[in-house]
């Protein structure tokens, strides 16, 4: 295991990714971690991340300098290196101007970190301060034109520093450098796999939960499904999942989930049909925020009432992922889990005195998918595109009525069928239809029509923070439009949304 100390760098998740890609487990911790805690985690090496601060700032993040004496290899990156230098008696000078971008790296020592590297290579720099004087026992191992100490080593103590960023794609030899750190210098083994993760997680869950009962809110998305499966495989029928059908789901969504999770995987699920309650409360509502608030409130009420029915439940499980946890880890505070708004049962643990179980909290999304596969989750669920908690309510612009829900469901179903058979489903972040609150004139079989318009939205994205509209082929879009207008009653016009996020959002409401 490798411990990464978070000094606030925007690249922290990337460092963790790079380590895990090599089948080595890693954890990100705050600089506040004590030496005793580090010892009990028993890492094989430590990476000190970069960060936006200057070590001369009063508030700059610091870790107990004893970390350099515990005998473990330590790699300091950018700020991490500067911290190491300052803590061990060297000097860091404030730079007149930032060095940002590509630089030519000249390697001077091919042992250790730079084993197998060419003499010169490109690296990515992003720093203000630089090393002016090395602490005792350190040597320069690489330089660039502007930065004399681009890399350093204390060979006896196995302390290493890099002024550039090996974790970013702009440093082409970065992966090799990190591999050298992991395997040559720390002696890590390639033992981290989803198989070993699953095995350990199942044991951990078992010992945490004992013979107590667990509740889980199932949304049908990959995170909550994988959480359910993992807990089910740990404590079987001590787990009860609650799935609330709010009447705003895609066509046959509830039935599909029932079939896969309950019949096929034998997970204990309570299906709550609350369609009437949601649709009644939404009748006549057109304002997007009001829709969301109503849906959130009713969801909470129903979830709580259902959870109360499960007598003696002591745990609430959630599919919180690592990025949600890391996002809330500041270099100056402790990690706390952010509960995703769509799971929206944030207040429940305290209110019902439930303890949280978050078995995915050290995984990234693609690792959750791999875990799902390892546990036997069908591909169809593993690759499901994200679907918002408020469901079709925020894709029906204007009033939500049963008739308009049926139209949108039929369009959406047909669209997904085409997207899947065209081979686009996994390439797109999301693809869906939106029903507009305006009608338009058309002509069908010599007759005038006055019917609904639907918009097709298809986007590519990495994390939903930014998104680009998908450049689907015109012929393919034409086929979708033809099928929708011919096969779905009540639609006579299809438009394609060509806006990116920002400034638009993915969903229309
Ligand atoms: P926007 O529309 O803000 O959406 O670009 C970003 C991502 O979040 C999803 N989304 C939601 N997910 N509850 C959810 O669970 C919500 O209320 C919600 N609103 C938006 C959206 O589908 C996209 O993936």
Which residue's CA is minimally distant from atom 14 of ligand 1?
A: 388
- Write down the residue that tokens 């601060």 correspond to: 53
Integer Cα distance of 233 and 102 in angstroms: 49
Distance of alpha carbon 107 from its chain centroid, rounded? 36
If DSSP states are collapsed to H, E and C, what string results for 389-410?
Answer: CCHHHHCECCCCCHHHHHHHHH
For 105, the token pair is 């790296």
Query: Which atom of ligand 1 lies nearest, measured to the CA of 296?
Result: 17
Nearest CA to ligand 1 atom 19: 388
What atom of ligand 1 comes closest to residue 429's alpha carbon? 24
Atom of ligand 1 nearest to the CA of 390: 17
Using the structure block, give the residue that is written with the tokens 């003696």.
Answer: 312
Q: 290 vs 192, 196, 245, 283, 404, CA distance in Å?
A: 46, 45, 20, 11, 19
- Most ligand 1 atoms within 8 A of CB, residue of 507, 508, 509 to mutate: 507
State the pLDDT at residue 346.
56
Q: Is the peptide bond before 175 cis (omega within 30 degrees of 0)?
A: no
- Tens digit of each residue's pLDDT (9 = 90 or more) over 412-463: 999 999 999 999 999 999 999 999 999 999 998 889 999 999 999 999 997 7
The verdict on 420 and 281 lying in the same domain is: no
Question: pLDDT tens, 271-289?
Answer: 999 999 999 999 999 999 9
* 231 and 315 belong to one structural domain: yes
507 located within any domain: no
Strands 355-357 and 313-317, sheet pairing? parallel
Q: What is the mean pLDDT of the chain?
A: 92
Q: Which atom of ligand 1 is nearest to the CA of 467?
A: 5
Q: Which atom of ligand 1 is nearest to the CA of 430?
A: 24
Q: Checking DSSP bridges between strand 45-48 and strand 99-107, what pairing results, if any?
A: unpaired
Q: Give distance in angstroms: CA of 508 to centre of ligand 1.
A: 10
Q: Same domain for 378 and 423?
A: no
* Cis before 467? omega within 30: no
Cβ atoms of residues 49 and 84 within 8 Å: no
CA angle 395, 396, 397 (to 5 degrees): 105
**Residues 6 or more apart whose Cβ sits within 8 Å of residue 10:** none
Given 185, 216, 243, the domain boundary residue is 185
503 is a domain residue: no
What's the gap in Å between 73 CA and the centre of ligand 1? Answer: 42
Query: Known catalytic residues?
Result: 78, 165, 167
Backbone angles phi, psi at 389, to 5 degrees: -50, -45
Residue 333: count of CB within 10 angstroms of its CB: 10
CA nearest to 170, candidates 78, 99, 81, 101: 101
Q: Whose CA is nearest to atom 11 of ligand 1?
A: 388
Quick one: CA torsion of 81, 82, 84, 89, rounded to 10 degrees?
Answer: 140
| Contact between 135 and 90 (Cβ < 8 Å) | yes
**pLDDT for res 332:** 36
What residue ranges of the chain have pLDDT lower than 50?
328-344
Do the domain assignments include residue 482? Answer: yes
Nearest ligand 1 atom, CA 501: 5
CA of 507 from ligand 1 middle (Å) equals 6
Do 74 and 7 meet the contact criterion of CB atoms below 8 Å apart?
no
Nearest atom in ligand 1 to the alpha carbon of residue 508 is 2
Positive/negative CA dihedral, 393, 399, 404, 408? negative
Residues 347 and 425 in one domain: no
Q: What is the CATH number of the domain that holds 228?
A: 3.40.50.620
pLDDT of residue 339: 27
**Residue 261 Cα, ligand 1 centroid: separation in angstroms?**
24
Write down which residue in 329, 355, 382 finishes a domain.
Answer: 382
What's the domain count of the chain?
3
* 179 and 201 belong to one structural domain: no
Same-domain pairing of 174 and 201 = no
Residues with CB under 6 Å of ligand 1 are: 341-342, 386, 388-390, 430, 464, 501, 505-507
Inside any domain, residue 501: no
Longest dimension (CA), the chain: 90
Does 86 share its domain with 198? no
Q: Which of 177, 77, 179, 178 is nearest to 126 (CA)?
A: 77
Range of the domain at 360: 194-382
- Cα–chain-centroid distance for residue 71? 34
**What is the per-residue pLDDT across 345-355, written as a single tens digit (0 to 9) for each?**
556 777 778 99
Return all residues near 79 (Cβ < 8 A) that are at least 6 apart.
7, 8, 9, 48, 49, 50, 51, 52, 53, 55, 127
Is residue 124 one of the residues assigned to a domain? Answer: yes
Do 150 and 181 lie in one domain? The reply is: yes
Q: Going by CA atoms, what residue is nearest to atom 21 of ligand 1?
A: 388
Take atom 22 of ligand 1 and give the residue whose Cα is closest.
Answer: 388
Whether 144 contacts 102, CB under 8 Å: no
Q: Report how far ligand 1's centroid is from the alpha carbon of 26 (Å).
A: 29
Of residues 185, 178, 157, 182, the one with CA closest to residue 88:
157
* 272 plus 350 within the same structural domain: yes
Regarding whether 204 and 174 lie in a shared domain, the answer is no
- Residue 140 sits at the vertex; the CA angle it makes with 135 and 146, to the nearest 5 degrees, is 105
> Pocket of ligand 1, candidates 501, 506, 508, 509: which has the most ligand atoms within 8 Å of its Cβ, to mutate?
506
Long-range contacts, stretch 467-472, CB < 8 angstroms, 24+ apart: 467/429, 467/500, 467/501, 467/506, 468/500, 468/501, 469/497, 469/498, 469/499, 469/500, 470/424, 470/427, 470/428, 470/431, 472/424, 472/496
pLDDT of residue 345: 52
Best of 464, 501, 503 for a ligand 1 pocket test (most atoms within 8 Å of beta carbon): 464
Residues 307 and 203 in one domain: yes
Whichever domain contains 468, its CATH number is: 3.30.300.10
The two structure tokens encoding residue 367: 């690792």
Tell me the helices (H) and strands (E) count for the chain, helix number first: 15, 20
Ligand 1, atom 6, residue with closest C-alpha: 464
Cβ contacts of residue 473 below 8 Å, gap of 6+?
Answer: none
For 418-456, give one letter per residue: b (16+ CB within 10 A) or e: bbeeeebbeebbbbbbbbbeeeeeeeeeeeebebbbbbb
- The rounded Å distance from CA 334 to ligand 1 centre is 27
Ligand 1 centroid distance, CA of 406 (Å): 22
* Residue 350 resides in a domain: yes
Asked if residue 376 belongs to a domain, the reply is yes
Q: Find the 437 Cα to ligand 1 centroid distance in Å.
A: 21
392 in any annotated domain: no
**Hey, whose CA ends up nearest to atom 7 of ligand 1?**
464
pLDDT tens by residue, 171-199: 999 999 999 999 999 999 999 889 989 99
Beta bridge partners of 133: 91
Ligand 1, atom 18, lies closest to the CA of 388
Distance (angstroms) between ligand 1 centre and the Cα of 142 equals 46
Lookup: tokens for 215: 């509740």
Domain final position from 167, 185, 203? 185
pLDDT at 334: 36
Pocket test of ligand 1: the residue of 388, 394, 461, 502 to mutate, having most ligand atoms within 8 Å of its CB, is: 388
> Above pLDDT 70, what percent of the chain?
95
Please indicate, yes or no, whether residues 373 and 407 belong to a single structural domain of this protein.
Answer: no
């Amino acid at each position: 295991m490798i411990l990464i100390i978070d000094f606030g760098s925007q690249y922290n998740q990337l460092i963790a990714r790079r380590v895990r890609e090599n089948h080595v487990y890693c954890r990100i911790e705050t600089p506040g971690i004590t030496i005793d805690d580090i010892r009990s985690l028993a890492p094989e090496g430590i990476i000190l991340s970069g960060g936006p601060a200057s070590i001369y700032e009063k508030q700059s993040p610091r870790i107990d300098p004893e970390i350099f004496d515990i005998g473990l290899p330590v790699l300091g990156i950018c700020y991490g290196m500067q911290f190491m230098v300052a803590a061990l008696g060297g000097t860091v000078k404030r730079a007149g101007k930032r060095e940002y971008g590509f630089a030519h790296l000249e390697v001077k020592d091919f042992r250790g970190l730079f084993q197998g590297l060419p003499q010169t290579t490109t690296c990515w720099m992003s720093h203000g301060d630089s090393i002016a004087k090395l602490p005792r026992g350190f040597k320069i191992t690489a330089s660039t034109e502007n930065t004399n100490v681009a890399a350093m080593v204390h060979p006896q103590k196995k302390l290493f520093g890099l002024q550039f960023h090996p974790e970013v794609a702009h440093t082409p030899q970065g992966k090799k450098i990190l591999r050298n750190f992991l395997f040559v210098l720390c002696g890590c083994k390639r033992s981290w796999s989803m198989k070993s993760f699953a095995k350990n997680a199942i044991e951990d869950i078992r010992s945490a939960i004992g013979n107590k009962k667990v509740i889980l809110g199932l949304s049908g998305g990959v995170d909550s499904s994988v959480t359910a499966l993992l807990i089910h495989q740990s404590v079987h029928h001590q787990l009860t999942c609650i799935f609330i059908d709010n009447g705003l789901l895609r066509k046959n969504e509830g039935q599909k989930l029932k079939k896969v999770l309950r019949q096929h995987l034998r997970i204990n699920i309570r299906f709550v049909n609350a369609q009437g309650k949601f649709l009644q409360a939404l009748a006549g509502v057109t304002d997007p925020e009001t829709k969301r608030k109503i849906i959130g409130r009713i969801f909470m009420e129903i979830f709580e009432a259902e959870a109360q029915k499960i007598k003696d439940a002591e745990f609430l499980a959630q599919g919180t992922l690592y990025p949600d946890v890391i996002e809330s880890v500041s270099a100056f505070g402790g990690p706390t889990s952010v509960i995703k708004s769509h799971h929206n049962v944030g207040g429940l643990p305290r209110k019902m005195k439930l303890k949280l179980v978050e078995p995915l909290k050290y995984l990234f999304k693609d690792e959750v998918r791999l875990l799902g596969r390892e546990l036997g989750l069908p591909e169809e669920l593993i690759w499901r595109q994200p679907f918002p908690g408020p469901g079709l309510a925020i894709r029906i612009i204007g009033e939500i009525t049963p008739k308009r829900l049926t139209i949108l469901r039929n369009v959406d179903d047909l669209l997904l069928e085409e997207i899947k058979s065209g081979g686009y489903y996994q390439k797109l972040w999301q693809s869906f239809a939106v029903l507009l609150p305006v009608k338009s004139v058309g002509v069908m079989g010599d007759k005038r029509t006055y019917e609904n318009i639907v918009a097709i939205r298809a986007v590519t994205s990495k994390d939903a923070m930014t998104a680009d509209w998908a450049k689907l082929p015109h012929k393919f879009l034409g086929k979708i439009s033809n099928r929708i207008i011919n096969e779905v009653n009540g639609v006579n016009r299809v438009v394609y949304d060509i806006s990116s996020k920002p400034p638009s959002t993915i969903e229309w409401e």
